[in-house]
Amino acid sequence: MQRLGFNRTGYSGESIDIHGVLRRIESAALAFGWRWERFTLPQLSHHGTADTLVLHRHVERARAHAYISAGIHGDEPAGPLAMERMIIENRWPADIALTICPCLNRTGFPLNTRENSTGNDLNRDYKHPRTPEVQNHIAWLETQPSFDAAFCLHEDWESHGFYLYELNPDQRPSLARAIVDAVRPVCPIDESAMIDGRETHAPGIIIPQIDPTLRPDWPEAFYLFQKKTRLSYTLEAPSDWPLPIRVNALVAGMRAALATL
């Protein structure tokens, strides 16, 4: 596995046709009997279709209900592609209910930018939301039940391999090692002692000691952790590696997480 060396000051890799990805996700989800809904973003209608797609997989007597989101940063294509692959392959644990937002930043992808089309980082807007995307996402989340676990799929252009963040204040059985062990055969793990300015707990695993109330800008994971779940993972694929490897990493990590949950 070779690193590309493209990314020097930010992500410089390929982008994706997000509308095509979402069309394929939607038709596969419908074929497999998922329920879908959209929250509309009238404030962004001048940017073309900016609706947010949500998919629900209902199962009888679910062992757990997991939430997965992807595509909140428009320069991180592996997340929506991982969701596309998993929904088309349709190999889910039989007793896990799912709620999936496959792309939270619909206007950022055509521009291949982290931010949305008005220049806002949606993943810093969950404390006092100003963007229509996040305002609508939170309004919709407030209508949802709590989740047994939440997963946010990301990429990091600076990292030396895959890594994850875990928020697990109640010391529930951790999924972190199962995720990293499943990713290792398909993608390098970032073995650095410090990643993104934080000390690692084990190779590729960051367990930040944070008090979200002290942080001025909340990412989605902090909102979920405060309001919707007590077990949260942010998976980071290394975006200086080829896109298929990053997609494989997120798919392998998610499959292990759901099997272990």
For residues 76 and 240, which CB has a smaller minimum distance to Zn ion in the complex? Answer: 76
For residues 73 and 255, which CB has a smaller minimum distance to Zn ion in the complex? Answer: 73
> Which two structure tokens, joined as six digits, stand for 169?
């204040």
Chain positions 30 to 89 lying near Zn ion, rule: CB under 5 A, are 73, 76
For residues 93 and 110, which CB has a smaller minimum distance to Zn ion in the complex? Answer: 110
> Which two structure tokens, joined as six digits, stand for 155?
């990429």
Q: Strands of the chain (E only): list them.
A: 35-39, 52-57, 64-70, 96-101, 149-156, 163-167, 194-195, 198-199, 205-206, 232-238
Place of tokens 């062992």: 63
Sole binder of Zn ion in the list 57, 65, 137, 154 (CB under 5 A): 154
Identity of the amino acid at 97: A
Query: Smallest gap, in angstroms, from Cβ of residue 107 to Zn ion?
Result: 16
**What distance in Å separates the CA atoms of residue 105 and residue 69, rounded to the nearest whole number?**
11
Tell me which stretch binds Zn ion (CB under 5 A): 149-157, 165-173, 192-200, 215-223. 149-157
Query: Smallest gap, in angstroms, from Cβ of residue 75 to Zn ion?
Result: 8
| Spatial CA neighbour of 44 closest among 132, 153, 166, 109 | 132
Query: Which residues lie across from 152 on neighbouring strands?
Result: 69, 234
For residue 15, the 8-state DSSP code is -
Query: Smallest gap, in angstroms, from Cβ of residue 123 to Zn ion?
Result: 6
By beta carbon distance, the residue nearest Zn ion is 154
Query: Smallest gap, in angstroms, from Cβ of residue 129 to Zn ion?
Result: 17
Told to check if 137 binds Zn ion by CB under 5 A, we report: no
For residues 26 and 121, which CB has a smaller minimum distance to Zn ion in the complex? Answer: 121
**What distance in Å separates the CA atoms of residue 82 and residue 70, rounded to the nearest whole number?**
9
For residues 57 and 69, which CB has a smaller minimum distance to Zn ion in the complex? Answer: 69
Query: Smallest gap, in angstroms, from Cβ of residue 121 to Zn ion?
Result: 9
Residues of the shown chain interacting with Zn ion in the complex, contacts defined by CB under 5 A: 73, 76, 154
